Amino acid sequence: MSEFAAEKSVGLVDSFGRGITYARLSVTDRCDLRCRYCMAERMQFLPKREILTFEEMTALADILITRGVRKIRLTGGEPLVRKGVMELIRSLGRRIGAGLDELVLTTNGTRLERFAGELFEAGIRRINVSLDSRRPDRFAHITRGGDLNQVLRGIDAALTAGLAVKINVVALAGINEDEIEDMLRWCAAMAVDLTLIETMPLGEVEEDRTDHYLPLDVVKRRLEQQFTFVPSVKKTGGPARYFDIPELQSQLGIITPLTNNFCDGCNRIRIAATGTVYGCLGHDQKVELRDALRCGGAQAVDELMDRLLAGKPRRHEFRIGGAPAVARHMSVTGG
């Protein structure tokens, strides 16, 4: 543990009695793709001087582990684009079994072919890969120029390395809704789980999200014409509802921020690469930990975390249409 770790202290509990055991830590706001529903085509990224160093991220993780965080997910932007990121991943991997139960990663897959083996060696066992289409031209359109084959090679490399892969698909009306059944069958054939996600109104983008909003209750009814949906006993503490699909011997997760609020069991905080911590994805309620970490250490961070949790909202207020729920893009918040 780093010098910043404090004595064992009380856990992280918000005013609604929800225990925080899960931190999503953004390594960078930068990404090598420009997905249309997520980012503007011409993004203004943060100056590097405002980003926490890897040593500071590790120190912050130690403080949170001391307070009861058991799972850390590394996000971005795209976490694997940050130079030297394996240094951080190896450092956090050494915390597994020493307070941390699990270190996981969300990625767009573009750099998995290079890093999959190192990720496994560092202690990561599960990754989420964002993949909204398996058609090369459509994938390039959604991502503004991404190479589908590069991502597919990365997924193969991850599976070969022994990583469990879950595919995340943002369901988009008029763009990829005709691929969802095929995606489910493809994932089942590879023994890979699939999670469908409704688009989230975060940050200004060039296109009107209303045009492509696809309620997942509609998708579920369509799929039920082909498959049996059996509510799963699987519970992760996350926002997904899981269903077993006996015909495919697979499982499907559904995340519905707009049609079915999932906040009652929230167990997480989101940490931007700057050290800004958000209590909720859909609100601007936050504390700034970078200067506290640099000047005050664990005690100063603990005090700010207690302040954050005291004001953590009960639920998000996502609505489709009109201005986005918050001005910041998903890549700033950390996935």
Residues belonging to the binding site are: 24, 31, 35, 37-38, 73, 77, 106, 130, 166, 200, 263, 266, 268-270, 280
State how far Cα 72 lies from the chain centre.
10
Q: Which residues contact 219 (CB under 8 A, 6 or more apart)?
A: 171, 177, 180, 196
Assess whether the previous peptide bond of 297 is cis (omega < 30° from 0). no
Within the chain, how many helices (H) and strands (E) appear? 10, 12
CA distance 287 to 312: 11
CA distance 71 to 63: 13
CA distance 293 to 302: 10
Query: By the 8 A CB rule, do 270 and 285 touch?
Result: no
Beta partners for 271? 25, 277
Alpha helical stretches, state H, 122-179: 136-143, 148-161
Residues annotated in the binding site for [4Fe-4S] cluster, as ranges?
31, 35, 38, 263, 266, 280
Residues annotated in the binding site for GTP, as ranges?
24, 73, 106, 166, 268-270
CA distance 127 to 109: 10
Residues annotated in the binding site for S-adenosyl-L-methionine, as ranges?
37, 77, 130, 200
Assess whether the previous peptide bond of 77 is cis (omega < 30° from 0). yes
